[in-house]
Structure 1
Amino acid sequence: MTELLEDEVASAVVSESDVVFAGHVWDIRKDTFRYGDSDIVRDYVDHTGAVAIFALDEHDRVLLIKQYRHPVGMREWELPAGLLDEANEHPVEAAKRELAEETDYVAAEWNVLSEFYTSPGGSNEALRIYLARGLTAAPEVFARTEEEADMEIRWVPFADCLDAVLARRVQNPSLVIAVLAAFAAKERNWSSLGAADLPWPRHPNNWAHTGR
């Protein structure tokens, strides 16, 4: 019988851990740890974690936003998303808040679609993608500033999203992963979805959300 393909939790003894740069949004941390016979030093982005929302309506359209991203000099098509930077806020509640704040929509049905580490060699950011359905207009319209001030909001047919991903016309990782995961999940009649309050034990920081 083939062994189940699954990531393995591994722990290393950390002898030193210091914030070497305190940033406006997240920090850079330097860890010294023992792995095997070696003492290793690594710098990485110490991240709050984030959530993204694959909002799908009854016409099989996906709700996307276009937003300026300075590090790559692009206005990217993305999913509505946001940081887990509110104390003791459950990820699904953060997702609901971000969907309303960024798109002026709310959803009646929520499920976990996918999870991933954005760049595990250099960041501890964990990101959970929710599938949101039953979309209606939010009771409140939110003001948007900074990079969100000129944000474009568009309903895009699911098939067009898939075409854009496969043709490499869109590059945002949350969008790419969500589109491919949703296509596969839909082919399986959505049987792979998780409950909205599914524990998140692999999130490195928000232990309140792990169910432990």
Structure 2
Amino acid sequence: MIILSRADLVDAATAWQVQSTDVLAEGQVTTYIEDAVLTPDGERMRRQYLRHPGAVGVIALDEDDRVALVRQYRHPVRHRLIEPPAGLLDVDGEDYLVGARRELAEEVDLGATDWRVLVDIFTSPGMAAESLRIYLARGLHAADAPEDFSRNHEEAHMDTVWASLDDLVDAVLAGDLHNPVLVMGILAAAVARSRGGFDTLRPADAPWPAREDLLRSLP
């Protein structure tokens, strides 16, 4: 049995040799790629995956521990999901926090004075090169969406709702809520609250080395 210490609990950036890369399809957001990869023992394998620009999400928490959410239709899963504000990191070179502030204003018309990093994730590392950072936002206040922003398609039909952090935890554990940004963000927020409070979280400008390593290694 191998028992890892806290110091050992760090995902290691590494890249096996890629012998060739083929673009199988290109979409509006993602690119479908197939790599021929050489394993450390010389075996050749082919792996298909989605290249994704990455995303940010926001758990916006008010002074009564209520979270600002949206209800949005998601066609691939044929559900209207309850979700936190979130969006793509598709502006080249944009600071992650700037993207999170924009999404909070665009989706729920809110700003915040206190920002912390809740959790960093590879959302589905077996099939997609998508990195996700979830922030905790507090000190909420009304904010206008950018002037050039307009809600269309699914966003034109979403609404803003609120729920208590405790009720959200219960709903996640009951299997009633399925959006991964919500599930991971809510559980991380609840754990942080119970283990020293939100001020122990990483600052909003904390480095994100796993994403930077990922971006450097992608074709």
TM-score, normalised relative to structure 2: 0.89
Count of aligned pairs: 207
Cα–Cα, structure 1 residues 18 and 32, in superposed 2: closer, same or farther, change >3 Å? same
Which of 12, 27, 32 lines up with 2:16 in the alignment? 12
Which residue of structure 2 aligns with residue 33 of structure 1? 37
Kindly, what percent of the aligned residue pairs are identical?
Answer: 45
Q: Alpha-carbon deviations, 1:58-116, whole Å to 9, x = none?
A: 11100111100000000000110000001110111100011111111111111110011
Q: Is the 8 A contact 2:69 2:162 kept in 1?
A: yes
For structure 1, which segment, 132-141 or 100-109, has the greater mean C-alpha deviation from structure 2 after superposition?
132-141
1:108 is aligned to 2:118: no
Q: Could you tell me which residue of structure 2 aligns to residue 145 of structure 1?
A: 152
Residues 1:198 and 2:206 aligned together: yes
Cα offset for 1:32? 1.3
Instruction: Give me the whole-angstrom Cα distance separating, in 2, the residues matched to 1:205 and 1:5.
Output: 22
Describe the shift of the 1:42–1:112 C-alpha distance in structure 2 as closer, same or farther (beyond 3 A): same
1:184 is aligned to: 191
**TM-aligned CA distance change 1:206 to 1:76, over 3 Å:** farther
Q: Secondary structure at the match of 1:180?
A: helix
Query: What is the match of residue 170 of structure 1?
Result: 177
Partner of 1:117: 122
SS of residue paired to 2:192: helix
Query: Matched residue of 1:44: which SS?
Result: strand
User: Which stretch of structure 1 is more off in the superposition, 4-13 or 73-82?
Assistant: 4-13
* SS of residue paired to 2:37: strand
Distance 2:55 2:31 in 1: 15
CA deviations on 1:141-173 (whole Å, 9 max, x unpaired) are 753110001101112111111111111100111
Distance 2:192 2:145 in 1: 32
Shift of 1:139: 3.5
CA RMSD, Structure 1 to Structure 2 (Å): 1.7
Segment drifting more, 83-92 vs 14-23: 14-23
Query: Where in structure 1 are there 5+ consecutive unaligned residues?
Result: 208-212
Give the residue type in structure 2 aligned to 1:205.
L
TM-score between the two structures when normalised by the length of structure 1: 0.92
Deviation at 1:192, TM superposition (A): 4.5
Partner of 2:72: 67
Measure how far apart 1:179 and its partner are.
0.9
Choose between structure 1 and 2: higher helix proportion. 2
Matched, 1:77 2:118: no
Alpha-carbon deviation of 1:9?
A: 2.2
Partner of 1:114, secondary structure, is strand
Amino acid at match of 1:193: L
The reply on whether 1:96 has 2:107 as its aligned counterpart is no
Which consecutive residues of structure 2, in runs of 5 or more, have no partner in the other structure? none
2:117 and 2:203 in contact (8 A); partners too: yes
